[in-house]
Amino acid sequence: MSILVIEDEIKVANFITKGLQEEGYEIIAAYDGEEGLEMALAGEYEGIVLDLMLPKRDGISILRELRARGIRTPVLILTAKGTIQDKVIGLDSGADDYLAKPFHFEELTARIRSMLRRSTVDKATQLEVGDLVLDTISHKAKRGEEDIELTAREYALLEYLMRNADRVLSRSVITQHVWNYNFDIESNLVDVYINRLRNKIEVDNRPRLIHSIRGVGYVMREKPPEGEEGN
């Protein structure tokens, strides 16, 4: 399983490369933005680890170029800043996950494994998060033994959240994928539909599956993530 690592700090690149090789991954490394983009366009990889602050070409422009060309390879971005704004920009540009520096290697490998698992879910016809099951052929949802009725838009939103389980999604990204138009910062459309879904799948004191991330958006997962809002 091959991973492209685009990182200009030699020590960090070597640290990532050595560790991932010991985990059984085949690693190809690039040390500046131009070289990284060239390798990303020329090769086929199961995943890409991409630093945002690169010489010659920054990580965000690389990410946008890849997505504009239709390359859907999962991308984990690394950022030294770790601010919410950096995370939002990365997610909006097409990143699948992010990790702030400095980081523990165990967290890096866990995020890579999760990212690669999600990439295989795109072809699944039955999606599961906890005891919630969604059949993408019949468009039927069930939590435990209880059937859940969904409108067409509610289904589209739930499918998108479940296909991207464990991935933090900004409101802008959700709007683009579910409604197919650009996000209006003053609109509460996403929040309204999230609440509708919650009222259907999280009733009767069932554990929460859709979690709010302060200043960013939402994530669907069984366990509450760090940074979850109180609503």
CA distances from 59 to 26, 54, 146 (A): 22, 6, 45
Query: What 3-state DSSP class applies to 170?
Result: strand
Give the per-residue pLDDT at 227: 55
Q: Decide if 64 contacts 93 (C-beta within 8 A).
A: yes
Q: Which two tokens stand for residue 144?
A: 């435990």
Domain edges within the chain: 2-121, 126-220
CA distances from 119 to 94, 97, 122, 129 (A): 13, 12, 6, 15
Residue bearing the bigger pLDDT, 161 or 118? 161
Give the per-residue pLDDT at 78: 92
Look at the block and give the residue holding tokens 């979690």: 211
Q: What is the pLDDT of residues 142-153, one digit of tens each?
A: 998 899 999 888
pLDDT at 164 over 60: yes
Measured CA angle at 11 (ends 8, 14), to 5 deg: 90
CATH node for 2-121: 3.40.50.2300
Residue 163: band (very low, low, confident or very high) from pLDDT cuts 50, 70, 90: confident
Residue bearing the bigger pLDDT, 135 or 92? 135
Q: What is the mean pLDDT of the chain?
A: 87
pTM beyond cutoff 0.75: no
Q: What is the pLDDT of residues 35-84, one digit of tens each?
A: 999 999 988 899 999 999 999 999 999 999 998 887 888 999 998 866 77
pLDDT at 181 over 70: no
Give the per-residue pLDDT at 222: 87
Q: What is the pLDDT of residues 80-126, one digit of tens each?
A: 866 777 778 888 888 888 888 889 999 999 999 988 887 665 556 78
Q: Which two tokens stand for residue 20?
A: 């991932």
CATH node for 126-220: 1.10.10.10
Give the per-residue pLDDT at 182: 60
Q: Which two tokens stand for residue 158?
A: 């739930």
Give the per-residue pLDDT at 55: 95
